[in-house]
Structure 1
Amino acid sequence: MADIRLRKLANLLVEYSTGVKKGEKVYISAEAVAIPFIAEVARAAIKKGAYVEYNVNIPEIAETLLKEGSEEQLLKPSDSFKLVVDNADVFITAWGTENTRVNSNIDPKKIQTKVRGNSELRKIFSEKMGKGEIRWCGTQFPTHADAQEANMSLREYEDFVYGAGLLDAEDPIAQWKEISAQQQRWVEYLNGKKELHILAPNTDIKVKIGGRKWINCDGRVNFPDGEIFTSPVEDGIDGYITFSFPGIYAGKEIENIYLEVEKGKVVKATASKGEDLLHALLDTDQGSRYFGEVAIGTNYGIQKFTKNMLFDEKIGGTIHMAIGDSMPEAGGQNRSAIHWDMLCDMRSGGKIYADGELFYENGKFLEEVLKK
């Protein structure tokens, strides 16, 4: 029997996050280990009168392609993703795998080539999301491998995943609506501001945000959620930043990432581990040395780093920045085949100023600022 919290999650994704309506085309995608997730989401969508299609990803095939595929094969756009881009009203995906290290021995350049192959489809998908033509939500299905990555048992990890989404509550949707209202206050404060100044250990960076829109992440795109973000002005970032936690990409870890930025572009990048992959990602395309996102994590129910950015970027008391593709809905104009988040802990001395006003310190918003 399925975990009742999984059924609650499926209902929330269909009812609240994506608002599925009768007659809409809903596409669902996950790895084979997450078939119970696909089944529950399909059940909820079918009850709404939607037309359901699904795709089951098999990691062994993806591994074979990366290891043995030619450049021509790697660059071929995904037909299954094209079906989604061309036809879906709603796209619901779940992360969750049997082996988080499946790509550990893959040549970083091959990963880069595969990413480039879907760059045009990703661009169209991003634009459609920005216009509201496709509604997408991604979430986590708990697996043994992801639990091990988080140093938890499967049962502990299930409790962590479902707890972070407030799925133990009698009415999780009501809880997320309340969070949405709380976060909206800070969205309204930051809308209209021109520049952020972020200070933290070995970090001093200014980020221009004038003319950009802040987005309230309240469980409608990522789930669980808990952040506010915008896309910075493309040539408006200067300074340096050190990311406190390892960056994870395709199951590989990059540790102690340090970036120097001039006029929006990463001009120097170092890492104590995985620096070759870091440089490969930065050199993916013309947009991959520029930033697509700056964000503040607001989910104080998530405090443990689990090597899963779906949760880690939401940790209350952190910020994150992403190189690559920006969000059209926030006014972002940078385009790239990648969008890769990196996380900075602000809980020990971190400060953020907006147009010279301190509004965030030691990992917390300063409520008195809103009372002025």
Structure 2
Amino acid sequence: MDSRITKLADVLLNYSLNIKKGEKLLIQGGEATLPLVKAVYKRALELGAHPQVDIVVEDLGEYMLKFGSDEQIMYVPESTIKAFESVDAFLTIWGDVNTRFLTNVDPAKLKLRSRGRQELVKIISERMEKKELKWCGTQFPTHANAQEASMSLTEYEDFVYGAGYIDDENPVAKWEKIREEQDRICEYLNNKENLRIVSKDTDISMSIKGRKWINCAGEENFPDGEVFTCPVEDSVNGYIRFSFPGIYAGREIEDIRLEFENGRVVKATAAKGEELLKELLETDEGAKLLGEVAIGTNYGIQAFTKNMLFDEKIGGTVHLAIGRAFPEAGGKNMSTIHWDMLCDMKEEGKIYADGELIYEKGKFLI
């Protein structure tokens, strides 16, 4: 086994999730992620935790969406709900056998699945807000994901572990330093009321009054590197063009352009995948509102890999998410989806806070 796998397992449990003896840990991963699932399970036992595993099989998900009735697609087993009501920590490990296995699934079926998970999403969100549930999501490098990134598996492994500083002698110390630096940015932004983002074909403004900026330094996503908040729901006005393709369930939506009035999307176009874009915006009442505005700060990630875990952290970018907001940031919007879209700021980008230029061409000026 690659020694970086066991090192990553140790960082996830001791830093990201801070697992304690006696805590119940749910580990969820796809069939291609088994090496990391096993390493995490073993380390959890060594720490005195109670791990349990949920392996997600891609073929079964495809069968359900293609052959299941509406009722079956929306059904969430009682055992799944019970698990999320009782575990202390939840680790999601992403890694695909085939990133395109949902490409030909009817978008309406994906929408049904999201609606069916409303109760589960609510349970997870409320428990996380109350600090009753710790969660982290991470990536295991697989052939399929390497292919999506236009890399060999070896190159992609180096990319993934490098983005998390797993090759450092002490990755935890590195992330603690990042947390301190980003704390200063968040403290500054917490005193601001209005945010304006300007870039190519983009000029969008929103109120952030009373909202809290969250420092993302490896606790809930790993790797990490961003600061984010939730805009006041009815305050978003303007337009934005997303520089990179939006990826949803393995499907690409290219050249996304959104216009907002009083918080809601009033116009949405895309050069490719516009039907899916509009389906997503109709998922539920909250899907047309912004749930997040964020600034990527990980300058060690520069390659766009069609994986938002990494892409949204790219230093010199911002991303906005339609749908579910984060209560810990003061967000109130509810939705079963939370979908991030990425805008490059390195050439023409500027960010103003209360009218003051604080960010230009991909770098903070403060």
Offset from partner CA, 1:103-155 (integer Å, 9 cap, x none): 11110000111111101210221121122110000000000000000000000
Judge conservation of contact 2:96–2:145 (CA < 8 Å) in 1. Answer: yes
Match of 1:283 in 2: 282
SS in structure 2 of the partner of residue 287 of structure 1: helix
Cα offset, 1:50, TM superposition: 0.6
SS in structure 2 of the partner of residue 105 of structure 1: coil
Judge conservation of contact 2:198–2:351 (CA < 8 Å) in 1. Answer: yes
SS in structure 2 of the partner of residue 198 of structure 1: strand
Offset from partner CA, 1:23-55 (integer Å, 9 cap, x none): 110000000111111111111111111111110
SS in structure 2 of the partner of residue 163 of structure 1: helix
Judge conservation of contact 1:258–1:269 (CA < 8 Å) in 2. Answer: yes
Judge conservation of contact 1:84–1:91 (CA < 8 Å) in 2. Answer: no
4+ residue stretches of structure 1 with deviation over 6 A? none
Identity %: 58
Q: How does 1:139-154 map to 2 (within 5 A)?
A: 139-154=138-153
Cα offset, 1:336, TM superposition: 0.3
Match of 1:335 in 2: 334
Match of 2:203 in 1: 204
Pair 1:269-2:297 in alignment: no
SS in structure 2 of the partner of residue 288 of structure 1: helix
Pair 1:10-2:13 in alignment: no
Judge conservation of contact 2:349–2:360 (CA < 8 Å) in 1. Answer: yes
Alignment partners' CA distance in 2, 1:225 and 1:28: 19
Alignment partners' CA distance in 1, 2:78 and 2:355: 49
Letter in 2 for 1:177: E
Judge conservation of contact 1:31–1:57 (CA < 8 Å) in 2. Answer: yes
SS in structure 2 of the partner of residue 225 of structure 1: coil
Letter in 1 for 2:5: L
Paired residues, number: 366
Alignment partners' CA distance in 2, 1:359 and 1:78: 48
Cα offset, 1:78, TM superposition: 4.3
Alignment partners' CA distance in 2, 1:327 and 1:70: 32
SS in structure 1 of the partner of residue 285 of structure 2: coil
Alignment partners' CA distance in 2, 1:207 and 1:49: 46
Judge conservation of contact 1:131–1:329 (CA < 8 Å) in 2. Answer: no
Cα offset, 1:79, TM superposition: 4.2
Match of 1:21 in 2: 20
Q: How does 1:187-202 map to 2 (within 5 A)?
A: 187-202=186-201
* TM-score normalised by length of structure 1: 0.97
Cα offset, 1:63, TM superposition: 0.2
Cα offset, 1:85, TM superposition: 1.7
Q: How large is the RMSD of aligned CA atoms in angstroms?
A: 0.8
Letter in 1 for 2:324: D
Cα offset, 1:83, TM superposition: 3.4
Judge conservation of contact 1:298–1:317 (CA < 8 Å) in 2. Answer: yes
Pair 1:53-2:48 in alignment: no
Match of 1:71 in 2: 70
Letter in 2 for 1:154: L
SS in structure 2 of the partner of residue 219 of structure 1: coil
Match of 2:364 in 1: 365
SS in structure 1 of the partner of residue 206 of structure 2: strand
Judge conservation of contact 2:85–2:123 (CA < 8 Å) in 1. Answer: no
Judge conservation of contact 1:78–1:118 (CA < 8 Å) in 2. Answer: no
Offset from partner CA, 1:244-265 (integer Å, 9 cap, x none): 0000000000000000001110
Alignment partners' CA distance in 2, 1:173 and 1:24: 21
Cα offset, 1:81, TM superposition: 3.7
